């Protein structure tokens, strides 16, 4: 084989070697690396978002704890039963302290459900002056148990100057079962 041809073949092989290695080794590997890099980039971006989201977990747990405590504090104000004797005693005490009179104190037959608690409406009639009634309301709102006044009617007395008669519905709440509801 002539030397020139041999050398030409050699040089051709010499050039073919890096070209072939590029196409058969490096190019696929580079493609793989690029793909992996893109995946890493994408996951990193996702990871940032996930980290931001999961950073709220502690706050969320704290918020849940606070809500739980708030619920407990309200539920603690719900007695197990109606405790009508206690309510009567408290109303009587508050009205006498405020210089009011209670001509009528009547339990309504209608017991209602109020969310998870039971509601017992009480129909109360109170007479006295406005200052006393206002003081009665202030004191009533300070009672440990939950109460509401959904209805009231205040009418000026025609007989005694400065006197008024109030008819109000005082709803008391307690923990009970739906069986109590009518």
Contacting another protein within 112-141 (CB under 8 A) = 112-117, 119, 129-131, 134-135, 137-138, 141
Residue 110 corresponds to which tokens in the numbers above? 């209608």
Could you give the CA distance from residue 72 to residue 151 in angstroms, rounded to a whole number?
A: 28
Binding flags for another protein, 85-104, as an x/- string (CB under 8 A): --------------------
Quick one: 56 or 92, whose CB is closer to another protein?
56
Quick one: 88 or 137, whose CB is closer to another protein?
137
Residue 155 contacts another protein per CB under 8 A: yes
Residue 34 corresponds to which tokens in the numbers above? 């690029």
Could you give the CA distance from residue 33 to residue 27 in angstroms, rounded to a whole number?
A: 10
Taking the complex as a whole, the smallest distance from the CB of residue 33 to another protein amounts, in Å, to 5
Question: What is the DSSP pairing of strand 112-114 with strand 117-128?
Answer: antiparallel
Taking the complex as a whole, the smallest distance from the CB of residue 4 to another protein amounts, in Å, to 6
Residue 44 contacts another protein per CB under 8 A: yes
Residue 61 contacts another protein per CB under 8 A: yes
Question: Considering only 14-22, 86-94, 99-107, which stretch makes contact with another protein by CB under 8 A?
Answer: 14-22
Quick one: 93 or 134, whose CB is closer to another protein?
134
Taking the complex as a whole, the smallest distance from the CB of residue 22 to another protein amounts, in Å, to 9
Could you give the CA distance from residue 22 to residue 16 in angstroms, rounded to a whole number?
A: 10
**By the 8 A CB rule, do 123 and 108 touch?**
yes
**By the 8 A CB rule, do 85 and 92 touch?**
no
**Widest Cα–Cα separation across the chain:** 143
């Amino acid at each position: 084989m002539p030397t020139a041809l041999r050398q030409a073949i050699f040089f051709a092989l010499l050039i073919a070697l890096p070209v072939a290695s590029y196409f058969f080794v490096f190019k696929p590997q580079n493609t793989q690396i690029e793909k992996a890099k893109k995946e890493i980039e994408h996951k990193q971006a996702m990871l940032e978002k996930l980290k931001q989201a999961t950073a709220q977990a502690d706050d969320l747990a704290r918020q849940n704890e606070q809500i739980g405590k708030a619920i407990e504090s309200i539920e603690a104000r719900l007695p197990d039963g109606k405790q009508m004797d206690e309510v009567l005693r408290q109303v009587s005490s508050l009205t006498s302290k405020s210089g009011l009179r209670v001509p009528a104190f009547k339990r309504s037959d209608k017991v209602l459900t109020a969310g998870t608690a039971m509601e017992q409406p009480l129909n109360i009639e109170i007479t006295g002056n406005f200052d006393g009634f206002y003081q009665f309301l202030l004191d009533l709102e300070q009672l440990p148990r939950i109460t509401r006044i959904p209805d009231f009617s205040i009418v000026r007395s025609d007989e005694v100057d400065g006197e008024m008669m109030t008819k109000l519905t005082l709803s008391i709440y307690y923990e009970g079962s739906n069986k109590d509801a009518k």
